[in-house]
Amino acid sequence: MSELYATIQTPTVKYEQPLGLFINNEFVKGSSGKTFETINPTNEKVITSVYEANEKDVDIAVEAARKAFEGEWSRVTPTERGRLLVKLADLFERDYETLVAIEVLDNGKPLMLAKGDVTHSIGCLRYYGGWADKVHGQTIDTNVDTLTYTRHEPIGVCGQIIPWNFPLQMWAWKIAPAVATGNTVVLKTAEQTPLSALYAAKLIVEAGFPPGVINIISGFGRVAGAAISSHMDIDKVAFTGSTAVGRTVMQAAAKSNLKKVTLELGGKSPNIVFDDADIDNAISWANFGIFYNHGQCCCAGSRILVQEGIYDKFVARMKERAGQNKVGDPFHDETFQGPQVSQLQFDRIMGYIEEGKAEGATVAIGGDRHGSEGFFIQPTVFTDVTQDMKIAQEEIFGPVVTIQKFKDEAEAIRIGNGTSYGLAAGIHTKSINTAIRVSNALRAGTVWVNNYNMLSYQVPFGGFKESGIGRELGSYALENYTQIKAVHIRTADALFG
């Protein structure tokens, strides 16, 4: 028992951390017994080690999920599925402080942001708990002698692969709609941040879910993730992460059993500021748009486009605002930006900063490491940026923003649409006509007007172009986890001759 749990003390709570693979409602060591370390990005020290899943463990988890889907879970009513999700949300709420502390410890997410993530996760579980008994088909009048109707049925066993930037929130985004619609799940966490997902798995048992309905494994993408993507007995795979890995997931799904795929991928989102914008409001949201979650956000407003009439004023104000962001210990209440999640991410971001300098962009503020311990990077603002620069085209996924100048609305749209991504965009203007015209013209799945990075579990989220396939959240996410069956019943005695 002790090998499957560790006692962890954080600055705010002391708790028991599950370490095993969660399969069939039990924590187990896995077939190899191998473990891997999870690192505290604030001080670069080992928090604990968790058990690592391999291909055989994926097989075992899928078998458990299949048995549940075809057995006990298939007889659970939609109303009961909803009740279980709401009960799980209640347990999240009871253990709120613990879940918040785990996110801060394992991810480096500031306390204020971790609280928002856990609150959002609770709301998401409750939201889909409410949807569980409201997914239904239609009756269609095709013929006087025929009863024709449609059924929205669960797809089956769903493989889900989540990222490290919003560990618990992505857990809820994936699991809640899948379970609400009657599917079973095998979910792989990101190897950088397995802890909150495993703690939440403990609550699944307490909530009363039957064994095998939700299975949570820790492991590496090249092994466990690849096994999920290519597994012949997984009916659907959902992935959130980089566009490059998303392509690999889709290829593996196609080469195996042509399983259904949804992908929520990268972004290089424009945040457009027009001359008539309320500059105080625009600066505030531009700062939040990029430095929220340390820039580790797929929809981050990482390209700020400013109309030439206010460009110089905006740059000066943005430089001042970025310098006010509190960077440091994520357990401190005043901290806005904590460390990047890992050494790998730190090195990658610093590489982009050096690339930007080499390409001729100007570092208006930041551009270096913050402190001497942990994976902290200064909030960084680049000016004198041109559209062909790598820092204006590629996703950096860190606290780095570029500012470009534009002349008119047409140029703003051209630059805004000028990457391979299409996840999100922002517009700042006092003109409703400008807001509507530009919103319609931008090739992005989400457009914020006079705000940025405001997400709700009630509203669909997903991308155009290389930013993904399908939609998370809202009623639209239910479509990812159901398939439609048409039934034709001949009611008259006579048959066609």
Kindly report the number of other CB atoms within 10 A of residue 208's CB atom: 11
pLDDT above 60 for 84: yes
**Mean pLDDT over the full length of the chain:** 97
Residues 230 and 307 in one domain: no
Residues 476 and 412 in one domain: no
Higher pLDDT: 1 or 427? It is 427
In this structure, are 73 and 139 located in the same domain?
Answer: yes
Tell me the percentage of the chain whose pLDDT exceeds 70.
99
Single-letter code of the amino acid located at 477: A
Residue 214: inside a domain: yes
Q: pLDDT (tens digit, 9 = 90+) per residue, 129-140?
A: 999 999 999 999
Are 432 and 342 in the same domain? Answer: yes
Q: Which two tokens stand for residue 204?
A: 């699944």
Q: What is the pLDDT of residue 216?
A: 98
Other beta carbons within 10 angstroms of residue 154's beta carbon come to 23
- Distance, in Å, from the CA atom of 44 to the CA atom of 38, rounded to the nearest integer, reads 10
What residues are labeled active site?
264
Crossing angle of helices 111-131 and 167-180, rounded to 10°: 0
Q: 212 and 296: one domain? A: no
| pLDDT tens per residue across span 352-380 | 999 999 999 999 999 999 999 999 999 99
Question: Using an 8 Å Cβ cutoff, are 306 and 273 in contact?
Answer: yes
Q: Return the amino acid letter for 4.
A: L
Residue 246 CA neighbour count, 13 Å, CB half: 22
Q: Which amino acid is at 41?
A: P
Q: Locate the DSSP E strands across 52-173.
A: 139-143, 146-154, 157-161
Q: Any idea what DSSP says for residue 242?
A: -
Task: Identify the residue whose tokens are 């347990």.
Answer: 91
Beta-bridged to residue 185, according to DSSP, are 158, 214
Contact 432, 392 (CB under 8 A): no
Residue 490 lies in a domain: no
**331 in the same domain as 222:** no
357 and 232 within one domain: no
Q: Which domain holds residue 126?
A: 5-265+467-484
Q: Are residues 248 and 307 in the same domain?
A: no
Residue 250 lies in a domain: yes
Mean pLDDT of 97-101: 98
- The CA distances from residue 144 to 100, 137, 140, in Å, are 59, 20, 11
**What pLDDT digit, counting tens, does each position of 133-165 carry?**
999 999 999 988 899 999 999 999 999 999 999
Taking residues 111-122, what's their average pLDDT?
98
- pLDDT at position 496 is 55
The answer to whether residue 493 sits within a structural domain is: no
Q: How far apart are CA 316 and CA 455, in angstroms?
A: 29
Q: What is the mean pLDDT of residues 51-62?
A: 98
CATH number at 20 reads 3.40.605.10
Does 224 score more than 50 pLDDT? yes
CB 236 within 8 A of CB 228: no
Can you give the pTM of this predicted structure?
0.96
Backbone torsions φ then ψ of 492, nearest 5 degrees: -85, 160
Query: Given its phi and psi angles, is residue 458 left (phi above 0), alpha (psi -120 to 50 degrees) or beta?
Result: alpha
The burial class, CB within 10 Å (0-12 / 13-18 / 19+), for 443 is: middle
* Same structural domain, 60 and 201: yes
* Residue 42 shares a structural domain with residue 180: yes
Same domain, 337 and 315: yes
Structure tokens given for 198: 């495993």
Residue 377 identity (one-letter amino acid): I
Average pLDDT, integer, range 461-484: 97
Task: Find the CATH number of the domain harbouring 383.
Answer: 3.40.309.10
**Which pLDDT score is estimated for 493?**
67
Residue 392 forms part of a structural domain: yes
Q: Is 460 part of any domain?
A: no
pLDDT, tens digit, 9 for 90 and up, residues 181-196: 999 999 999 999 999 9
Report whether pLDDT(1) > 90: no
In a 3-state reduction of DSSP, which class is residue 368?
coil
Q: How confident is the model at residue 497 (pLDDT cuts 50, 70, 90)?
A: very low
Residue count (the chain) = 497
Query: Does residue 218 share a domain with residue 288?
Result: no
CB distance 65 to 132 below 8 Å = no
Residue 11 has pLDDT above 90, yes or no: yes
Q: Decide the pairing of beta strands 424-428 and 270-273.
A: parallel
Please compute the mean of the pLDDT values over residues 320-336 and round it to a whole number. 97
Q: How many CA atoms lie within 13 A of 248 on its CB side?
A: 14
User: Given this model, what pLDDT does residue 495 score?
Assistant: 58
Q: What percent of the residues of the chain are helix, what percent strand, and what percent coil, each to the nearest 5?
A: 40, 25, 35
Distance CA 60, CA 349 (A): 38
Let me know if residue 84 belongs to a domain.
Answer: yes
Number of domains in the chain: 2
- Give a yes or no: residue 405 inside a domain: yes
